[in-house]
Structure 1
């Protein structure tokens, strides 16, 4: 499986994140700039990166209502 480079995006709604390796996390408001990548382990899931150690997982069907790509490439 190939690992695609994370794409620039912004949140369209609030998202709960978790720190990698911990159960702790926080809520991020709409409009926050993030990076988005398809999960290599589960193709039906996308990973939203809030820096290097904080992530949220979103199902592929919910992606278009959760984020908007801002890198200029066509949205899939």
Structure 2
């Protein structure tokens, strides 16, 4: 299965992120712009990217409550 490039989005609610390789992270407020893609390792999860080293993992069932796509394509 192939995976798309990350899509532009913004948060609808607060999300807790982690830095890749560290246990440290921070909270991002609603309205924050980000990129979203399906996890290649865990198909039931979506990865929300905040820059290149900070991510949050969201279950697929919670995705529509968490983010809103900004690229104009329909949500899948």
Short-chain TM bin: over 0.9
Calculate the aligned-residue CA RMSD, in Å. Answer: 0.6
Show structure 1 runs of 5+ residues with no match: none
Q: Which segments of structure 1 move beyond 2 Å, counting only runs of 4 or more?
A: none
Q: How many residues align?
A: 76
In structure 2, stretches of 5+ residues that fail to align are none
TM-score, with structure 2 as normaliser: 0.98
Q: Name the counterpart of 2:40.
A: 40
- Provide the TM-score with structure 1 as the length reference: 0.98
